[in-house]
Amino acid sequence: MTRIAAVHGALPPHRHTQREVTDMVARTCLPPGADRRVLDRLHRNARVRTRHTVLPLDAYAGLDGFGAANDVFIRSAVDLGGQALRGALRAAGLRPTDVDLLMFTSVTGIAAPSVDARLVNRLGLRSDVKRLPVFGLGCVAGAAGVARIHDHLLGHPDDVAVLLSVELCSLTFQRHDTNPANLVATALFGDGAAAVVALGGRRAVAGPEIVATRSRMYPETEHVMGWDIGSTGFGVVLDPGVPDVVRQYLADDVREFLDEHGLKPKDVARWVCHPGGPKVLETVTEVLDLPDGALDVTWRSLADVGNLSSASVLHVLRDTLEHRRPEPGTPGLLLAMGPGFCCELVLLRW
C-alpha cells in the first residue's frame, strides 16, 4: 500500500488580522464613501482570524490587471512551492533526486513552463522526473492529488511521488467588484502551499497508509463553483447553494464508501476535512452526524490561515499528524469538495 511519508506546509511572509484584510478590501473593492456594513458582516462571519498574503496589503491596489497579478503568481509560486517541496523531502529523509513523479496543482494562476518545470533545475530534481501539472480542480485538488499519486504508486510500487499545491488566492481578488461572491471570497481565502511525499508499497516507511479512494461528480452542479475568467483575471463563481449540494449528496457517498470497507462514520478516528467555510463545515458535521470536536483541526486551520483552496486540506493533514495523531491502525478519512461540483474521498489507515 501507498504510505504518506511527510507533509509540509509553507506560508508567505505577510500575515494580517482579518480586520486588516477587511479594511484593504473596503479600499480596493468598494466605491469611496460606500456603506461597508455588508462587507464587515461577511468578513466577521467567516470565522477567520488571520491570513497570509504574498504581497503587502497596500500593494494589491497597484496590480494593473491580470497580467501583473499572474507575473506575481509565477514568481511567488516558484519560491513558496520550492520551500514546501524542500521541507517535505527533508522531513521524509529524501533528496530531490529521489522523486520519480511530481504532480503540481493550482487554480490561482497559470504558467508555461509550469511551476513544477521551473522547480526541476532550481531544486535539483532528476531530468527524467515525471511531471503532471493540473489546473481546474480548485479546492478538491488537495484530496484528489493525494488520490492520483496513490494511483501512480499502485502501478509503480518502488517510486517516490510528490504532490505540490500552491494557491495564491489573494491575487484573484477583483478590485472594484462588489458582487457578493467576490466579497465572500475576500473574507475566506488566503495564500499558502503544501507538499505531500508518498512512497510505493515496496519502500519501507512509517506513515499513514492510503487504503482506497473515491471520486464523485454531482449532476447539473457546474454552476455552483469555479471561475469566470475575463480581462481582469479570475472572477470567483460561488453559489450560496453549495451547502445544499453538500447536504444532498455527501452523507450517502461517505457512508457507501466506508461500508465497502466494513466501516461506519463512527469508526473514523480522524476526519481530515477541507475548510470550505463555516456553512459548509456546519453542513458536513450535520449530515455525517459527527461528534463534537471531530472537525476541530479543520476549524482551527480556517481561523489561523483561512481557506487555502487545494493546499488547505493538506495543512489540515499535516496538523492532524503533528497534533492529533490517532492510534496506529485506526481509520481516517480525508475529504474535500470543489468545482464540478465534486467530492474526493481518501480512506487512510493511521
Catalytic residues: 139
The secondary structure of the chain, three-state, reads CEEEEEEEEECCCEEEEHHHHHHHHHHHHCCCCCCCHHHHHHHHHCCCCEEEECCCHHHHHHCCHHHHHHHHHHHHHHHHHHHHHHHHHHHHCCCHHHCCEEEEECCCCCCCCCHHHHHHHHHCCCCCCEEEEECCCHHHHHHHHHHHHHHHHHHCCCCEEEEEEEEEHHHHCCCCCCCHHHHHHHHHECEEEEEEEEECCCCCCCCCEEEEEEEEECCCCHHHEEEEEECCEEEEEECCCHHHHHHHHHHHHHHHHHHCCCCCHHHCCEEEECCCCHHHHHHHHHHCCCCCCCCHHHHHHHHHHCECHHHHHHHHHHHHHHHCCCCCCCEEEEEEEECCCEEEEEEEEC
Q: Find how far residue 83's CA is from the centre of its chain.
A: 17
Strands 101-105 vs 50-53: parallel, antiparallel or unpaired? unpaired
> Cα-flanking dihedrals φ and ψ of residue 235, to 5°?
-90, 125
Query: From CA 179, how far away is CA 137, in angstroms rounded?
Result: 23
> Cis bond leading into 66, ω under 30°?
no
Query: From CA 62, how far away is CA 68, in angstroms rounded?
Result: 9
Nearest in space to 130 (alpha carbons), one of 105, 153, 100, 104: 100
Which residues make beta-bridge pairs with 213? 346
